Amino acid sequence: MMTGDLLQHSSHWGAFRARHADGVTEIRPLASDPDPSPLLGNLPAALSSDCRILRPAVRKGWLEDGPGADPRRGRDAYVEVSWSEALDLAAGELRRVYSDFGPSAVFGGSYGWSSAGRFHHAQSQIHRFLNMLGGYTRSVNNYSAGAAMVIIPHVFGDYDRFERRSVSWRAVAEHSEMVVAFGGMALKNAMVNGGGNSHHIVRGRIAQAAKRGTRFINVSPLRDDMPGEALSRWLAVRPGTDVALMLGLAHTLVEEGLHDSAFLDRYTEGYAEFELYLLGKSDGIAKTAAWAAAICGISAADIRALAREMARSRTLVTVSHSLQRAEHGEQPVWMAVTLASMLGQIGLDGGGFAYSLGALGNIGKDALAVPLPTFSQGSNPCSEFIPVARIADMLLHPGETYPFNGRDLTYPEIRLVHWAGGNPFHHHQDLNRLRRAFARPETIIVHETGWTASARHADIVLPATVTMEREDIGASAFDPLMFAMHRIAKPVGEARDDYWIFTELSRRLGTEAAFTEGRSVRDWLAHLYETTRAALEQRGDAPPGFESFWAHGELHLPVLADEGGPARLYRADPQANRLKTPSGRIEIFSRQIAGFGYSDCAGHPSWYPPAEGYGSAAIQRYPLYLVANQPSTRLHSQLDYGVVSLASKIHDREPARLHPDTAAARGIVDGDVVRIFNDRGYCLAGARLSDEVMPGVIQLSTGAWFDPADPQTEQTGCVHGNPNIVTRDIGTSSLAQGCTGQLSLVEVERFEGDLPPVRALKPPIFAARNK
C-alpha cells in the first residue's frame, strides 16, 4: 500500500517505497521484510549519477566511416545525435544485416538482471523484437550456473525443478542435523533474487537451525562465506580442490562400511563403475583421505572424522554457484550428488543434496500456486546458439567448430550485436580478449542507462531508463507478494524505456503491429496482470481488478505446501516418479556422457588436476589464488556508482582482501593500493587485510566498472579493480562450456608511483560532428 506520497516499487534486492523531490530520493524498505538488503542504499544514485546516458550517441569513427570491424571501439569519442537520427541509423543497420546475411548474423545480447519488472524485462523485450524480424543467434544457460545447468539434467533431472525445490529452508531449520556447504552460503548472495525478494528469510532460518543444534560446515577459502548466525566450523580448503575432498570423504565411507548400499542399488545408476575409480581399481590411484589431504589441504584425520559425522547425522550436502564457475566445474556438482547418494539421504527432510541453496534469496522458499505475468518473447526461427560464456570465441573465431554437450557446433559469423540489459564487460572473463572480440562485428547497438564499458564499446548508444523511471509489475516465482511498481521520477535527460525504443525501431522496420499488439505500457501491464488474476479466480479467490491492484500497490499470492519437492517423491516411489535422466535414476555413471568421449569429462565424477591451480606449472610464477566472487555492495556491476558501493572502495578502487601473512610477505599494509597481475593483464585495487581469507588467497569481487589504464593499447590493465582483466576465458569442459571466472592464479605487489585517476564513473569524451 502507498503511504502518503511514498510510492511502491521493487528491485532484485527487495521491495521498497520511495519518493523523489527536488533532486533528493528517499528509499524505505518494505516494513514487513525481516532483513532488508543494504543494497537499497545504492538506488538513489540511479536518478542523479554523472554517468547516466542523457542523449543518444554514435561513436565518431562509425559515424564517419560507416559499419565495419574497428579496433577503435572502447577508445573513440562519441557524437550526440537526435533520437530520430539514432533510430534511423539503428534500423538501417538491422535492415541491412537481416537482408544481406540473415538472422544468424545478428547476436541478441542480453542478461536477465536489468529489471525486477515482468514487462520491462530487457531480455524479453529485445528477444521479442528480434524474433519479429526473423530471429537471431542466441545464448543459452548463464554465467552463474553454466556447468550445473548442463550436468544436473544428465545426473539428477530437470535443472529448474531440482535447483529451486530440492530442499527448503523450513526443512533445514526443522530437520537438518548437519549442513556441509561446499562453497559456503554467503549471506550477501541471498540478499538478491531475480524478480525481487519481499521477505529475506535466509539469515533467520540459518539462525533457527543453529539454535536447534544444526552443525554448519563451511568448506571454503573464505570464513565469511557462512553467516555468523550459523556458528559454523570453517574448513579452509585450497581453492578448486573440493572434488578431491569429496572423493576422500567418499573413500572413507566405503572403507569403513558407512555408505548406504541399499539406497545406491535402488535409486542410482552406475555406482559400481564409480567405485572402481574411487578405490583405484580402474586407474591405480585410491582416492583415500590421505590422497585427498595432499591436494585439498585438509588433514586426513579431519576428512575421516567429517565422513563419520556425516554418516551418523541427518546431513545436507550443498554446492554453491562458485564451485562450478571454475575449470571442470561440472565435477563438484556431480560429485556432491554422488556423496549425498552414498549417504542415502536424498529425499529425507533436511538431508540429501541441494544445489545453490543460499545463492539466491528465494531458493528454498515455497513455490507460488499461480502463474505470474510474463511478456511473451515469441518464437525464434533461428537455430543458431552459443553457450553464454563463449561470446568472445564466437566473435573471434567464426566458422570454428567446438564441442558442447555431446554435439559439435559451429560459431556463426556475427555482423551485428544488439544488446539490451546486462554488461558483458562485467560478466565475461579476460577483458583484453573481449576487447579484441568486440572490435570484430560491423555494428554494435547498445541500450544502456549508464556509460558502462559495454556502452563505450558500442557504435550506437541508446539511453534507457532505470527501473524507478517507469511503471511495471514486480514478482518472482518463489515470493508471495506481487507489486505495482509505480514510477518514482521522470526520466533523466532524453532516456526512454526499451519498449518505446523497440516500438520506434519496429515502426521503421514494419513490425510495429506484431511487436506492440496495439498496446501502450499501461495496457500491457493490465493485460499481463490478467494471467494471475484469472488463475486466482479459478482457485476460488476474489482477486482485485487491475486498477484496484495498481492503487493498492501489492497483492498477496498463494503458495504451494512444502511437500519435500521432487527428491522426496522420487524416494517414495522411484518407478512412479522416474527422474528425467536416460535411466530414470540418479546417474552416478552416465553412459551418455561416457559416450561423448570427452577427455575432460568422463562418465563419472572425477578429479582433474587444473591447468591453473594446485599442482600446475603456472603456480610457480603466480602463487596466489584469486577468488573473484560476487560483491556484497551491489548486484553484479549494477549501481557501482551508488553510495553503498562507493563507500567500500579504497582510494576510489575496489577492495581486495588478503590474509595478513600473505600481505606481510610482500610488504603490503592495510589501505595500500596493490597491483594484481598475471600474463593476461593487471588491475589496481585497495588492500584490506583480513583473517577471514585463508593465507595464499586474495579475494577481489567482480563488478567494478572496467576502466582501462590505457584504452589505446591492445593489452592493458584496469585501474578500478575489475578482476576479469586477469581471469581466464575458457570453458569448464567440453560438456558445458561454462564460465570459469571464479578462480585464477595471480601475484600481487604494492603499487608504487602516482595513482592513475578512475574515469569509469564519468561520461566519455564527446566530439563535434565533422562537417
Active site members: 111, 113
Structural contact between residues 25 and 19, judged by C-beta atoms closer than 8 angstroms: yes
Residue 511, SS3 per DSSP: coil
Whole-number Å distance between alpha carbons of 453 and 448: 10
Strand partners, 482: 555
Other Cβ atoms closer than 10 A to 479? 25
Whole-number Å distance between alpha carbons of 664 and 625: 17
Whole-number Å distance between alpha carbons of 662 and 658: 6
Other Cβ atoms closer than 10 A to 608? 16
Q: Which three cell numbers stand for residue 12?
A: 532484485
Determine the residue type at 316.
Answer: L
Residues 6+ apart with CB under 8 A from 35: 200, 201, 202, 203, 204
Residue 462, SS3 per DSSP: strand
Please report how many Cα atoms fall inside a 13 Å half-sphere around the Cα of residue 460, on the Cβ side: 26
**Residue 250 backbone dihedrals phi, psi, to 5 degrees:** -65, -40
Which residue bears the cell 582501462?
A: 708
**Residue 439 backbone dihedrals phi, psi, to 5 degrees:** -80, -10
What b/e readout covers 642-681, taking b as 16+ CB neighbours within 10 angstroms? Answer: bebbbeebbbbbbbbbbbeebbeeeebeeebbbbbbbebb
Going 133 to 137 to 140 to 143, the CA torsion angle's sign is: negative
Closest CA to 205 of 60, 366, 56, 92: 366
3-state SS string for 140-206: ECCCCCCCHHHHHHHHCCCHHHHHHHCCCHHHHHHHCCEEEEECCCCHHHHCCCCCCCCCCCHHHHH
Which ranges of 381-446 would DSSP assign to H, the alpha helix? 391-396, 424-427, 431-438
CA distances to 309, 423, 444, 508 from 460, in Å: 59, 15, 7, 16
Whole-number Å distance between alpha carbons of 657 and 644: 18
Whole-number Å distance between alpha carbons of 711 and 718: 10
Q: In sequence order, what E strands does 266-370 have? A: 268-269, 315-319, 352-355
Whole-number Å distance between alpha carbons of 467 and 43: 10
Which ranges of 484-609 would DSSP assign to H, the alpha helix? 498-509, 512-516, 521-538, 546-552, 565-572, 591-596
Q: How far is CA 370 from the centre of its chain?
A: 26
Residues 6+ apart with CB under 8 A from 607: 243, 244, 247, 287, 295, 331
Whole-number Å distance between alpha carbons of 688 and 672: 8
3-state SS string for 14-79: EEEEEEEECCEEEEEECCCCCCCCHHHHHHHHHHCCCCECCCCEEEHHHHHHCCCCCCCCCCCCEE
Whole-number Å distance between alpha carbons of 17 and 40: 11
483 burial via Cβ count (<10 Å: 0-12, 13-18, 19+): buried
